[in-house]
Amino acid sequence: MSHEVQIGSFKVGAGNRPFLIAGPCVIESEQLVLDTAGKIAEITKSLGIPYVFKSSFDKANRTSIKSYRGPGIENGLAVLKKVKDQLGLPILTDVHTEEQATEAGKVVDVLQIPAFLCRQTDLLIAAAKTGKVVNVKKGQFLSPPEMANAVKKVEECGSQRIVLTERGSSFGYNNLVVDMRSFPIMRSFGYPVVFDATHSVQLPGGGGTKSSGQREFVEPLACAAAGAGVDGFFMEVHPNPDEALSDGPNMVPLHQLKSLLERVMRICDAAKPRS
């Protein structure tokens, strides 16, 4: 059983209803972000799912140096603050440096440590010191038990506001697989575990100068994770993924989100341990 972690007005973990982290991969425009956040909020409210909005102000690990990275921290945080103020949603965003963690921690509710950076001690410490929830994504190169080391780094700063996210493991070239054993293993560390259903179907570098993806497998993997037992789901969502500036091939089309969540939550309810 995991600790409860407070995010905004709700708690996650410890048997609470699974929550959703969702939004466009990267901030493309203020209007797109506000519109998408509002529509996802309507869907999750209708289904009784606690919701955290996610979008990135900077994608620092794009495959190509020419790829769109985002509006930058100053403009990006201004947009995220509007989502928080106008829609009343808790906010999650990625941070890549200690300085970004400090600045973003003044605005957002959850600081996300990208998978490639999950072993960066100084970054984990800086995020923990903000007092905000720290969502550490498991590196594609790590086994699930190794994530205990990341947990200990955050705990050493006096924080138990930790969430762990599974996003697949490298399997050969340009491919990821999800080991369902990861969920009970990481849950055993005592914190909520989230399944990143969209990055898990990514084909890293599969497009040559960009990553590709197989969004048709988001639903079956999310359903499998629901059956295995998770505390939340992470899904990047876009009104038109084929025109998105980042991660389009693996993002969930907005118009498909409600039916996907309905199915996933039915499985969560069926799989919930009986008291």
Domain ranges in the chain are 17-239
Pairing state between β 252-253 and 169-170: unpaired
Nearest of 87, 24, 90 to residue 55 by alpha carbon: 24
Q: Scanning the structure block, which residue is given the tokens 């939340």?
A: 232
pTM of the model: 0.96
| Homologous superfamily (CATH) for 17-239 | Aldolase class I (3.20.20.70)
Of the CA atoms within 13 Å of residue 70, those in its CB half-sphere come to: 26
| Angle between helices 257-271 and 30-47 in degrees, nearest 10 | 40
Query: Residue-wise pLDDT tens for the chain (275 aa)?
Result: 578 999 999 999 999 999 999 999 999 999 999 999 999 999 999 999 999 999 999 988 877 888 899 999 999 999 999 999 999 999 999 999 999 999 999 999 999 999 999 999 999 999 999 999 999 999 999 999 999 999 999 999 999 999 999 999 999 999 999 999 999 999 999 999 999 999 999 998 877 777 788 999 999 999 999 999 999 999 999 999 999 999 899 999 999 999 999 999 999 999 987 65
